[in-house]
Amino acid sequence: MPVPPEIEARVGELREQVAYHRDRYFVEDAPEISDAEFDELYRELEQLEAEFPELVTPDSPTQQVGGAAASTFAPVEHVIPMLSLDNAFTLEDLLAWGKRIERQVSDPVAFVCEPKMDGLAISLLYEQGQLVRAATRGNGFTGEDVTANVRTIKSVPRKLKGEAVPERLEVRGEVFMPLAAFEGLNRRQGEAGARLFANPRNAAAGSLRQKDPSITASRALDIFCYQPGVKEGGPRLRTHWETLDWLRDLGFPVNPRIERFEWLDDVYAFSESMLEHRHDLGYEVDGVVVKVDDLGQREELGATSKAPRWAIAYKFPPEEKTTKLLKIMVSIGRTGRATPFAQMEPVFVGGSTVQMASLHNQDEVARRDVREGDTVIVRKAGDVIPEVVGPVVAKRKKNARRWKFPKQCPACGQPLVRVEGEAATNCVNVDCPNQRWGRIVHFAAAMEIDGLGEERVRQFIEAGLLADAGDLYSLTVEKLVPLERIGERSAQLLVDNVEKSKAQSLVRLLVALGINNVGPAAAQDLARELGHLDRIASASQEELVAVDGVGPILAQSVQEFFARPRNLEVIEKLRKAGVNFEGPVRATVPEEEQTLAGLTVVLTGGLERFSRDEAQAEIEARGGKVTSSVSKKTSYVVAGENPGTKLAKAEQLGVTVLDEDALVKLLETGQV
Ligand code: IVH
């Protein structure tokens, strides 16, 4: 059966959305939707792809593990992949797993129970006892080199203690931000008008990805280590329990709450008690990791490609509390979307105080039938965004009235318009002050203009200094100083930061413009293929969809954006100010020299003469394709210094492996 065009379009749209939100989560550390909403998008995509397998492409987000490695730091391939864990969502599932394990191994099993730290996994590498490298988990195979930043974490040992230190030792653990540090950081961010972090995990991830290590140093990160990775030398270890003791002796911080049990009943009791006391620990814990203690038994049990069979993560259920819903209001976002939200009596749930939650759209309010004055159930899963589950109807006052969606925009008074066939309602007045504010705040954040947060933008708009993002570039110290709460120094700093943003990449600029559906992934694709803002602006529908990764919906959004005179005005202001419109320079090799057309190349390990991006650009310029995983279809694997598991995979599949010299020859001649 041919795939109906609306399905194909929906799959394209879902891919763009999943890729966008995945980037927001993993790369930007600033999620916009809850994990549950993300899962819903992802599941819909998976279902459609299962129904229409011909639509599955290797670059679909369903075909990739975890987040993309963000591009600011050098890639590090993990010699032993950093696997993830299978989950149990109830204590019963946890017990069932334990019983299965007991049946699968012959001898009695002891279990080690550990708090599951809600931070981010890190790999620390020591050579001759000295810390030489720290890398994030990334997608499990390739992470990012964050050594300079990790060195600023006080509890990470620079030098190992004791006599029998192994030649080479990799230790893995979880970097996290203690709650007190998180609250202090958000307080300071708020005072400086900077973006607040959603939770300690995002704050830890954001702090670790700073380009300037002195910022990381100011962020009070901490670490608990839980297992060795690569280990050359050192004692022979028989159990996990013994391993943890050894790690402690070497100077690694190991969580003191870890316990060892010989009975599953005790594992159950530990997990139940951890659930009850999860908020008394001073750091966020989102579950319990239960591991088989004996390393021999672990070997017997083995691992799947994603997770070991000898461990499981019992994930705590989302927390729920009741509170009073005071008022339902509507906020207007930068795109004009009118989003109803609940204002509630503050309630402490899921590790933070909640007093507002999105109700998404008109249909959602109707479906939940929440009314002003209701007692409502609020839920916050260990992660991001709080949610109003529904009303406690038994406690409802008799005179409580159904809530009605307002007819006028609360910000500008113009009529709100419900989009036909969709749940969304919009304010369509592009001059609406809230939209304008949202667009400028978004622009400033995407262009990394430090010190220009929500409050500042509001202040500048009210002072008549900003009508759109283009006006940022005409701000001067003289114009800012007369405003309240701005001294000469902070005015100068702000003007300098605005000036610096002119050199941001085309990718950032594209994201900053706020074109519908254009997130970092789509912006990368457009910038790489079309190379200049003016080319993107003037590209036809056909030229846009010819860009790898761009579908018809995205193409249409781009065209609509550049058809609006108001947007073109902003772009002219940016051009006059000297904002960079150029994309990464791409070598273009004439048609007759497309010597690598039809070839697929995988790169692994570091090269001397090229950075990873340069090697990729050279190959692509000659018509070749670079992919991230090795399969039978791979033409060549290029292995540099410290190649990762891809080399082993190539050898296993009999794919030809090239060294750097052979790559150079291939580029020059198209032959090996
Ligand atoms: S062991 C192969 N122990 O949970 C086993 N992981 O969901 C590797 N985590 O990526 C992990 N606390 O970031 C382990 N005590 C703990 C943990 C822990 C938190 C994280 C870790 C891992 C994720 C898997």
My answer on whether 359 and 396 are in the same domain is: yes
Residue nearest to atom 17 of ligand 1 (CA): 116
pLDDT at 73: 84
Q: What is the CATH number of the domain that holds 640?
A: 3.40.50.10190
- Give the span between the Cα atoms of 219 and 185, in whole angstroms: 7
What's this model's pTM, rounded to 2 decimal places? 0.56
Is pLDDT at 82 greater than 80 in this prediction? yes
Report the SS3 class of residue 221: coil
My answer on whether 597 and 654 are in the same domain is: yes
> Is 242 a domain residue?
yes
Neighbours of 322 (CB within 10 A): 17
Number of structural domains the chain divides into: 6
- Give the span between the Cα atoms of 69 and 66, in whole angstroms: 9
**Mean pLDDT value across the chain:** 89
Q: What is the CATH number of the domain that holds 413?
A: 2.40.50.140
Question: In 48-187, at which residue ranges do the beta strands (DSSP E only) sit?
Answer: 75-77, 87-88, 111-117, 120-127, 130-136, 142-144, 168-176
Which tokens is 178 given? 């203690």
Report whether 123 contacts 77 (CB < 8 A).
no
Residue nearest to atom 10 of ligand 1 (CA): 84
Report whether 637 contacts 655 (CB < 8 A).
yes
pLDDT, average across residues 19-33: 69
Q: How many Å lie between the centroid of ligand 1 and the Cα of residue 159?
A: 24
My answer on whether 262 and 152 are in the same domain is: yes
Q: How many Å lie between the centroid of ligand 1 and the Cα of residue 202?
A: 16
My answer on whether 177 and 277 are in the same domain is: yes
For ligand 1, is residue 313 a contact (CB within 6 Å)?
Answer: yes
Is pLDDT at 70 greater than 60 in this prediction? no
pLDDT at 668: 85
pLDDT band at 20 (very low <50, low <70, confident <90, very high): confident
Domain-terminating residue out of 315, 343, 375: 315
Q: What is the CATH number of the domain that holds 549?
A: 1.10.150.20
My answer on whether 147 and 243 are in the same domain is: yes
Q: What is the CATH number of the domain that holds 28?
A: 1.10.287.610
Residue nearest to atom 16 of ligand 1 (CA): 116
- Rounded to 5°, the CA angle 58-61-63 comes to 45
- Give the span between the Cα atoms of 338 and 340, in whole angstroms: 7
Report whether 572 contacts 474 (CB < 8 A).
no
Residues 6+ apart with CB under 8 A from 346: 323, 353, 354, 355
* Per-residue DSSP letter, 481: T
Residues 6+ apart with CB under 8 A from 199: 118, 182, 284, 351, 352, 383, 384
pLDDT, average across residues 200-223: 89
Percent of the residues in the chain that have a pLDDT greater than 90, as a whole number: 59
- Give the span between the Cα atoms of 85 and 170, in whole angstroms: 19
Is pLDDT at 222 greater than 90 in this prediction? yes
> Is 68 a domain residue?
no
Domain-terminating residue out of 471, 501, 531: 501
Residues 6+ apart with CB under 8 A from 611: none
The string of DSSP letters for 458-485 reads HHHHHTT--SSGGGGGG--HHHHTTSTT
User: What digits encode the pLDDT tens for the residues 129-175?
Assistant: 999 999 999 889 999 999 999 999 999 999 999 887 999 999 999 99
My answer on whether 89 and 121 are in the same domain is: yes
Place of tokens 């930061």: 497
- Give the span between the Cα atoms of 16 and 493, in whole angstroms: 36
Q: Smallest Cα–Cα separation from 628: which of 69, 230, 122, 136? A: 69
**How many residues comprise the chain?**
672
Considering just the CA atoms, what is the radius of gyration of the chain in Å?
27
My answer on whether 478 and 522 are in the same domain is: no
Residues 6+ apart with CB under 8 A from 245: none
Neighbours of 596 (CB within 10 A): 23
> Is 329 a domain residue?
yes
Report whether 63 contacts 214 (CB < 8 A).
no
- Give the span between the Cα atoms of 263 and 260, in whole angstroms: 9
- Give the span between the Cα atoms of 78 and 646, in whole angstroms: 11
My answer on whether 131 and 31 are in the same domain is: no
Q: Considering 116, 315, 380, 573, which one is annotated as catalytic?
A: 116
Q: Which helix (H) or strand (E) holds 617?
A: helix 612-621
Which tokens is 391 given? 């009303």
> Is 493 a domain residue?
yes
- Give the span between the Cα atoms of 432 and 336, in whole angstroms: 8
Is pLDDT at 291 greater than 60 in this prediction? yes
Q: How many Å lie between the centroid of ligand 1 and the Cα of residue 306?
A: 13
Q: Please confirm, yes or no, whether 291 is among the known catalytic residues.
A: no
Is pLDDT at 243 greater than 50 in this prediction? yes
Distance of CA 488 to the CA centre of its chain: 37
For ligand 1, is residue 308 a contact (CB within 6 Å)?
Answer: yes
Q: What is the CATH number of the domain that holds 132?
A: 3.30.470.30
Which tokens is 481 given? 């100083």
My answer on whether 336 and 311 are in the same domain is: no
pLDDT at 65: 45
When mean pLDDT is compared across 46-60, 239-253, 442-456, 652-666, the lowest value belongs to 46-60
- Give the span between the Cα atoms of 659 and 636, in whole angstroms: 10
User: Does 510 or 628 have the greater pLDDT score?
Assistant: 510
pLDDT at 629: 75
Which tokens is 130 given? 């000295």
Report the SS3 class of residue 433: helix
Atom of ligand 1 nearest to the CA of 137: 10
Is pLDDT at 382 greater than 60 in this prediction? no
When mean pLDDT is compared across 174-178, 392-396, 411-415, 585-589, the lowest value belongs to 585-589
> Is 558 a domain residue?
yes
My answer on whether 437 and 417 are in the same domain is: no
For ligand 1, is residue 288 a contact (CB within 6 Å)?
Answer: no
When mean pLDDT is compared across 164-168, 223-227, 503-507, 518-522, the lowest value belongs to 518-522
Report whether 98 contacts 290 (CB < 8 A).
yes
Residues β-bridged to residue 223: 175
Residue nearest to atom 2 of ligand 1 (CA): 83
My answer on whether 98 and 193 are in the same domain is: yes
> Is 585 a domain residue?
no
For ligand 1, is residue 83 a contact (CB within 6 Å)?
Answer: yes
Residue nearest to atom 18 of ligand 1 (CA): 116
My answer on whether 175 and 303 are in the same domain is: yes
For ligand 1, is residue 114 a contact (CB within 6 Å)?
Answer: yes
Is pLDDT at 575 greater than 50 in this prediction? yes
Give the domain range for residue 618. Answer: 591-669
Is pLDDT at 228 greater than 80 in this prediction? yes
**Whole-angstrom distance between the N-terminal and C-terminal Cα of the chain?**
43
pLDDT at 209: 86
User: Does 65 or 5 have the greater pLDDT score?
Assistant: 5
pLDDT at 67: 45
| Beta-sheet pairing, 87-88 with 311-315 | parallel
Domain-terminating residue out of 300, 315, 330: 315
pLDDT band at 385 (very low <50, low <70, confident <90, very high): confident
For ligand 1, is residue 311 a contact (CB within 6 Å)?
Answer: yes
> Is 127 a domain residue?
yes
